[in-house]
């Protein structure tokens, strides 16, 4: 029925424009898959934030101002919004790059004076330090590292009735420092790869020298090593300036960080907007609390999310976490089921159920471990806090994660597929409804078919405002 027909009825009684029976074409609930307008708005918001604040290295004024802006935007739609200022030791995350040249030199000097055991111990200790700090994100020896300021933000939309479960949608708003040399750049080998090869050679040399001295019964004898070993050690010492080149690995500039990961914070804003609108229409979630959290310091070891989960444990009643990260490619929806360089399991059950849900919505999706040397996502902090957690990414792992735009100067809004954003929003909405209906785990997920609507969400919002005057 056309709207014009509504107002052409006989005027026996004055019509109430708010009554639902006067809008029969709006009786069907808003299809959660119709998230095109929300995706468009999320991209516009991301472009605006990058235009205003640029790169957002944690602790920088641009990162803090961007966090403030996100907080204000969430406060427009959430029942409650909080901004958490904290201190972190994020500067320690990349310090191993600065240390490696010194460890290399110390190791070779110890070999030169006939102390291969000490040389090997020094190398093993350093490798363990790098493993804890950079690989598994369980840092050591940070007490004397200078503090950096960080800001976490979260907003909450409470359900209409008693809270029985919680869904945490999360992202991060800080961006990564740029690298002075990226893979494929001229000089990458001599500035990055060769220093690491030389360090590895010094480690092997320590082990070889121990074996040689065991065979010659010279172990623990202070003095120069055999002539062959001496020549190799001296050549490695001469290569020390090359190892020092890796100290310039990080630039002082930051990536624009559109896909990694400001678009995800913009997605949170649009999700809060959507669920706020539903709640005002008395169509909100019945028993599910929604939390929209944007973390700081993700790029330096998940510092922000770790602090947040420690502080707000009480909010996470029967909670699941869906983290958004690197939303680029609409044809590559991946639910991460192991995090922190693929070495820490996330909730495989949650990831698999999310895949089923996405498939039922007509989207191709899969669960996949995060590849080694790909870093980590904030879902890892949730899992460490005993939350069922996984991350939704939209990135092609098969072609190589190193070929992606993230952590580069090219990580701009135009590299993000709008359909990927639309799908991420639609999945989040459908996930919320399915969990609130207690129909997520161990139950078949019914395939959704899009309901044809005359207008999208923004038009519907405008229409409702007019009809309530």
Q: For the segment 26-65, what is each residue's pLDDT rounded down to a tens digit?
A: 333 444 436 689 999 999 999 999 999 999 999 999 999 9
Question: CB burial class (10 A; 0-12, 13-18, 19+) of residue 46?
Answer: buried
Per residue in 98-108, pLDDT (tens digit) is 999 999 999 99
Give the pLDDT mean for 407-424: 96
> Taking the model in full, what pTM does it have?
0.86
Split at pLDDT 50, 70, 90, the class of 443 is: low
CA separation for the pair 445, 434 (Å, rounded): 8
Residue 326 CA from chain centroid, whole number: 7
What average pLDDT does range 392-418 have in this prediction? 86
Say if residues 345 and 383 touch (Cβ distance below 8 Å). yes
The answer on pLDDT for 442 being more than 80 is: no
pLDDT score, position 462: 44
Mean per-residue pLDDT, 299-315? 96
Q: Diameter of the chain by CA atoms?
A: 112
Instruction: Over range 397-426, report the average pLDDT.
Output: 87
Residue 456 has pLDDT above 80, yes or no: no
CATH 3.40.630.10 domain range(s) in the chain: 30-88+149-178+254-467
What is the average pLDDT score of the chain?
A: 87
Give the number of C-alpha atoms closer than 13 A to the C-alpha of residue 105, restricted to the C-beta side.
11
Contact at 8 Å (CB) between 169 and 324?
A: yes
Average pLDDT over residues 426-434: 97
User: Residue 57's closest CA among 87, 99, 91?
Assistant: 91
- What CATH number has the domain spanning 30-88+149-178+254-467? 3.40.630.10
């Amino acid at each position: 029925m056309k709207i014009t027909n509504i107002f052409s009825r006989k005027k026996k009684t004055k019509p109430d424009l708010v009554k639902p029976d006067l809008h029969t074409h709006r009786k069907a609930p808003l299809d959660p898959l119709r998230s095109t307008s929300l995706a468009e708005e999320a991209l516009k918001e991301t472009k605006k934030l990058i235009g205003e604040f640029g790169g957002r290295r944690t602790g920088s004024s641009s990162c803090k101002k961007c966090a403030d802006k996100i907080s204000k935007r969430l406060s427009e739609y959430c029942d409650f919004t909080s901004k958490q200022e904290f201190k972190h030791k994020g500067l320690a995350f990349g310090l191993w790059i600065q240390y490696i040249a010194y460890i290399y030199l110390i190791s070779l000097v110890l070999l030169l004076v006939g102390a291969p055991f000490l040389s090997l111990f020094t190398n093993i200790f350093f490798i363990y330090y790098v493993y804890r700090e950079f690989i598994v994100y369980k840092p050591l020896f940070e007490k004397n590292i200078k503090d950096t300021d960080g800001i976490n933000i979260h907003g909450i939309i409470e359900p209409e009735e008693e809270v029985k479960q919680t869904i945490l949608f999360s992202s991060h708003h800080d961006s990564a420092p740029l690298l002075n040399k990226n893979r494929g750049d001229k000089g990458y080998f001599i500035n990055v790869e060769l220093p690491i090869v030389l360090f590895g050679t010094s480690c092997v040399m320590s082990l070889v020298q121990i074996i040689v001295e065991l065979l010659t019964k010279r172990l623990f004898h202070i003095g120069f090593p055999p002539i062959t070993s001496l020549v190799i050690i001296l050549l490695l010492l001469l290569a020390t300036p090359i190892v020092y080149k890796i100290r310039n690995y990080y630039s002082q500039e930051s990536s624009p960080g559109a896909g990694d990961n400001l678009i995800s914070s913009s997605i949170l804003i649009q999700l809060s907007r959507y669920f706020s609108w539903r709640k005002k229409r008395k169509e909100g979630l019945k028993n599910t609390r929604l939390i929209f959290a944007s973390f700081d310091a993700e790029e330096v070891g998940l510092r922000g999310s770790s602090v947040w989960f420690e502080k707000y444990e009480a909010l996470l009643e029967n909670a699941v976490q869906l983290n958004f990260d690197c939303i680029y490619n609409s044809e590559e929806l991946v639910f991460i089921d192991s995090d922190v360089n693929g070495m820490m399991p996330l909730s495989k059950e949650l990831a698999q159920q999310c895949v089923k849900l996405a498939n039922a919505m007509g989207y191709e999706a899969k669960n996949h471990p995060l590849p080694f040397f790909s870093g980590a996502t904030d879902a890892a902090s949730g899992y460490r806090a005993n939350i069922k957690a996984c991350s939704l990414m939209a990135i092609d792992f098969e072609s190589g994660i190193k070929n992606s735009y993230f952590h580069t100067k090219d990580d701009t809004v135009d590299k993000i597929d709008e359909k990927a954003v639309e799908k991420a929003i639609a999945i989040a909405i459908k996930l919320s409804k399915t969990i609130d209906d207690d129909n997520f785990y161990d139950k078949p997920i019914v395939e959704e078919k899009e309901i044809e609507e005359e207008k999208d969400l923004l038009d519907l919002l405008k229409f409702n405002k007019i009809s309530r005057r």
